[in-house]
Amino acid sequence: MAKISDEVKKAIQEIRPALVATANKNGRPNVSPKGSFRILDDEHVLFVDLRSPRTIANLKENPQLSAIGLNPDTRQGWRIWGKVEEFLTSGELFEKITQEYAGKGKGKVNQVVKIAVDEAVLL
């Protein structure tokens, strides 16, 4: 696991959505936008699964992913490589995020995907 720098944390907070790239066990790629992508702590990021059946299926077959955020005006951004550590469907963090999303009208939180970061860089 890698520690996420303060500069990358700031960029993730400011640049949305993230584009999350996954691949199934046969290598077929998928890219999906995630407006919920955020920092959890110095070594983890997460996103919320609202309507991501292919992303989740791929990550269950192959837990590796890459995510990128890019500001088109400045052409600045960030990139992360990591591995799913947990699919949360209960517990304190899941409940906190479910409550947060309850008032947004964006749909039911199916799960929270917790990712251990291998590398995080600014672009």
Q: Say if residue 2's pLDDT is above 90.
A: yes
Q: Say if residue 107's pLDDT is above 90.
A: no
* Spatial CA neighbour of 63 closest among 103, 98, 113: 113
Note the pLDDT tens digit of each residue in 49-100: 999 999 999 999 999 999 999 999 999 999 999 999 999 999 999 999 999 9
User: 75, exposed or middle or buried, with CB in 10 Å at 0-12, 13-18, 19+?
Assistant: exposed
| Domains, the chain, with CATH or none | 6-122 (2.30.110.10)
- Residue 41 — pLDDT band, cuts 50, 70, 90? very high
Rounded mean pLDDT, 2-22:
97
Note the pLDDT tens digit of each residue in 109-119: 999 999 999 99
For residue 12, the Cα-to-chain-centroid distance in whole angstroms is 10
